[in-house]
Amino acid sequence: MTMRLNRRSFLATSAAAGALAFVGPKGLRAETGGMLRFGLSAYPPSFDAWASSGSAAGTVKLMMHRGLLGFAPDGTMRGELAESFEVDDAGTWTFKLRDARWHDGSPVTSEDIAWNVAEAAKADSTAFFRGELQSVVKVDTPDARTIRMTTEEPSAVLPGWFAHFNMPMIKKGEAPDTTMGAGPFKLDKTDRGVSLSLSAFDGYYKEGLPKLAGIEVIVYADENLRVAALDAGDVDLIEYVPWQAMEQIEADARLKLDAVDGPFMYLTFNAERPPFDDPRVRRAVAHAIKREDIVAAAFYGRGSALEHLPLAEGSDYYNADLANGWAYDPDKAMALLAEAGHPNGFDCTLLATAQYGMHQSTAEVCQAYLSMVGINARLDLPEWATRVQKGNQGQYDLAVMGTTASNNDPDGMTQLIDGSLPASFVRSYGLKTPEITELLAKGRQTFKAAERKTIYHQMEAKALETTPIAGLAWRSQGFAMKAGVSGFTNMPGQLCFYSPETLEETVLG
């Protein structure tokens, strides 16, 4: 393990701790083994390695594949296929590969990696990071184990791309939806829509891992049934534990719950047309809703109020002074409305979806609170596909959304609040945020932690004022498992969907 520290390699520093974590004694696999039965919430819509195809696909990708980087159970970034990574003064990132192998036994080379970057960035690519990777202007492979990437502008957030489960590495020349990766498990068999069978890859680059002999993934679309299956002993581990079942699982000695506040709910606005083109009206909405009731009604108390931008309290970029910037204050809300010329409120539509109960419940609570300040919101609850399209095309006034950011870095917020990005249902429609756009860009190019902190503080303060989105609630994301399952960790904050990465260390008791 070599780690050349550079004055700007702050990200790599934090990765070091994690990188050491997996160096453990050899030969653990022999004594543990066992097949883990994993109750997944959906069947992966596709196995396309680089496309964003949801958390279920992400889970399976994290079993089969590894990227250059990853996250340790404690949430720190660490090397995976790359044993080290660093950035020089010019902003060029250099990754040193470790001695890893593909599932077919061939070595993972820098050439493979370069091919991945080039393919995903191609004009006709459907990769999640296609846009970002296009900013990589040059990829060098000085030797089989070294890869060097140069971006248009220096980018402090580049490692985040390569740690993302939507940017795993596949063997050169394979189709994007290949199951041939370098991850801890190999996909043996699939029954589309029903189940997947994976077995341990004995050539995995971490000694002694994975500890399991294999994983049997069974899809349970119905959340209640997923819990029932765990309760009845049909599966060992389930994801997306419904909030109403968490208490019961915690109370059950045979089971255990690992839940973190990660994903969050928020409101988006259509700023193309009145009344939400007026920041005062948007702020009025942000002040009008009592978040605790959303947490109680939609999430059975499993979560917490979110009265600012979704920056978790544990984050380095958490701004305690701004944390209650959108605190519940109906008087203030009404004053803002009056100031904006709506002393008697107005009518509008509130878009959510009936397909997901949490969206609907959140919308119902919002509707009730908005009516108290005179905003009469009519609910529009189409199924998800329609809701996405309506969101993309701005066919709404107000909309309830829920998601996670890419990772715990504040740059993850870009997707939600950067008004210069193309229209998307995840952010407000037609809302230009020049100052925020500029600050976010500055943050990406800044490598010093202290400087970044200042930039993001400014950014959040600006966001609280202009309200490009209105945070509503953190929601708890839980995995539940049999008491005997150990080594599986729900990663903190926005990383909860990376948690299946720890399946490599999971042991069946």
Partner 1 sequence: MRKLILPVSIIAVILALVLLAPILPLADVRAMDIPHRFAGPSLQHWLGQDEFGRDVLTRLIFGARASLSIAIGSALAAALIGATLGLLGGYFRGLVELVTVRAAEVVLCLPPLLLALLVVTILGAGFWPLILALTLLYTPNYARVVYAATLQVRGLDYVTAQRALGTHPLTIVLRTLLPNVLPPLVVQISLVIASAIVIESGLSFLGLGVVPPTPSWGLMIRSARGAMEQAPMLLVWPSLALAGTILTFNLLCDRLQSVLDPRTVPVGGAIWLRRRGATSPRPSSREARVPRAAGPAGAGAVTDRAATDRSGETKPADLLAIEGLTVALDRPGGVGSGMELVRGVSLALRPGETLALVGESGSGKTLTSLAVTGLLPDVLAVTAGTAAYVRRDGTALDLLAEDEDGHRRLRGDEISMVFQDASAALNPVHRIGDQLAEGILAHRAIGRAEAANEAVALLKRVGIPDPERRARAYPHELSGGQRQRAMIAIAVANRPKLLLADEPTTALDPTIQAQILALIADLKRDNPDMGVVFVTHNLAVVAEIADRVAVMYAGELVEEGPVAEVFARPRHPYTAALIGSVPEGGAERLVAIPGTVPAPGQMPPGCRFAPRCDHAEAICRESEPAEFVPAPGRRTRCLRYEEVT
Partner 2 sequence: MLRYIAYRSLLAVFLVWIVVTLVFLMLHLVPGDPAELLLSQGSTAADPQAVANLRERLGLDDPLWLQYAHHIGGLLTGDLGTSFRDGASVTGQIVQRLPRTLEVIVAAALIAAALGVPAGTLAAVRSGGWIDTLISFLSSVALSTPVFVVGSVVILVFAQELRLVPAGGYVPFAVDPARHLLLLMLPAGTVALALWAVIARMTRASVLDVLERDYVRTARAKGLSRVKILRRHVVRNAMIPVLTVLGLEMGTLIGGTVLVEFVFNWPGLSGYLVSAVDARDYPEVVGIVMVISILFVFLNLVVDIVSAVLDPRISLTR
Query: What residues make contact with partner 1 under the rule CB under 8 A?
Result: 223-224, 242, 244-245, 248, 292-293, 296-297, 300, 353-355, 357, 360-361, 364-365, 367-368, 379-383, 385-386
Q: How far is the CB of 16 from partner 1 (least distance, A)?
A: 44
| Count of all residues that appear for the chain in the document | 509
Q: Is 58 in the site for partner 2 (CB under 8 A)?
A: yes
381 binds, among partner 1, partner 2, none (CB under 5 to 8 A by kind): partner 1
Name the strand (E) or helix (H) holding 398: strand 398-403
**Per-residue contact track with partner 2, 8 to 47, x per CB under 8 A?**
-----------------------------------xxxxx
392 binds, among partner 1, partner 2, none (CB under 5 to 8 A by kind): partner 2
Q: Which is nearer to partner 1, 297 or 449 (CB)?
A: 297
- Give the one residue of 186, 427, 452, 482 binding partner 2; rule: CB under 8 A: 427
403 binds, among partner 2, partner 1, none (CB under 5 to 8 A by kind): partner 2
Q: Is 199 in the site for partner 2 (CB under 8 A)?
A: no
Q: How far is the CB of 335 from partner 2 (least distance, A)?
A: 33
422 binds, among partner 2, partner 1, none (CB under 5 to 8 A by kind): partner 2
Quick one: how far is CA 26 from the chain centroid? 32
497 binds, among partner 2, partner 1, none (CB under 5 to 8 A by kind): partner 2
CB 81 within 8 A of CB 182: yes
Question: Using CA of residue 52, residue 56, residue 57, residue 59, what is the dihedral sign?
Answer: positive
- Give the one residue of 71, 95, 128, 328 binding partner 2; rule: CB under 8 A: 128
Report residue 126 as tokens. 């459907």
* Helix ranges restricted to H, 261-412: 279-288, 291-299, 330-339, 357-372, 384-393
Rounded CA-CA distance 409/429 in Å is 24
Q: Which is nearer to partner 1, 63 or 358 (CB)?
A: 358
Residue with tokens 């399952």: 485
The residues in 222-251 that bind partner 2, with binding defined as CB under 8 A, are 222, 224-225, 228-229, 231-234
Report residue 467 as tokens. 């309200």
Rounded CA-CA distance 490/282 in Å is 34
Q: Could you tell me which stretch among 109-117, 216-224, 467-475, 498-506 binds partner 2 (CB under 8 A)?
A: 216-224
Q: How far is the CB of 442 from partner 2 (least distance, A)?
A: 21
- Neighbouring CB atoms inside 10 A of 141's CB total 17
128 binds, among partner 1, partner 2, none (CB under 5 to 8 A by kind): partner 2
490 binds, among partner 1, partner 2, none (CB under 5 to 8 A by kind): none
Q: How far is the CB of 472 from partner 1 (least distance, A)?
A: 14
Q: How far is the CB of 426 from partner 2 (least distance, A)?
A: 5
Q: How far is the CB of 413 from partner 1 (least distance, A)?
A: 29
**Helices 223-231 and 243-251, interaxial angle, to 10°?**
10
Q: How many CA atoms lie within 13 A of 451 on its CB side?
A: 12
Cα distances from 146 to residues 86, 95, 436, in angstroms, run 11, 6, 36
Q: Which is nearer to partner 2, 343 or 484 (CB)?
A: 484
142 binds, among partner 1, partner 2, none (CB under 5 to 8 A by kind): none
The residues in 129-148 that bind partner 2, with binding defined as CB under 8 A, are 130-131
Dihedral Cα 152, 154, 159, 164, nearest 10 deg: -50
Cα distances from 181 to residues 66, 103, 202, 353, 481, in angstroms, run 7, 6, 13, 36, 27
Q: Which is nearer to partner 2, 388 or 441 (CB)?
A: 388
Question: Using CA of residue 124, residue 125, residue 129, residue 132, what is the dihedral sign?
Answer: negative
Q: Which is nearer to partner 1, 14 or 353 (CB)?
A: 353
Question: Using CA of residue 368, residue 372, residue 373, residue 376, what is the dihedral sign?
Answer: positive
Rounded CA-CA distance 435/466 in Å is 10
The residues in 359-388 that bind partner 2, with binding defined as CB under 8 A, are 382-386, 388
Name the strand (E) or helix (H) holding 244: helix 243-251
From first CA to last CA, the distance across the chain in angstroms is 32
User: 23, 161, 140, 166: which is closest to 88 by C-alpha?
Assistant: 140
Chain positions contacting partner 2, by CB under 8 A = 43-48, 51-55, 57-58, 123-128, 130-131, 177, 191-194, 218-222, 224-225, 228-229, 231-234, 355, 382-386, 388-390, 392, 401-404, 415, 421-422, 424-427, 497
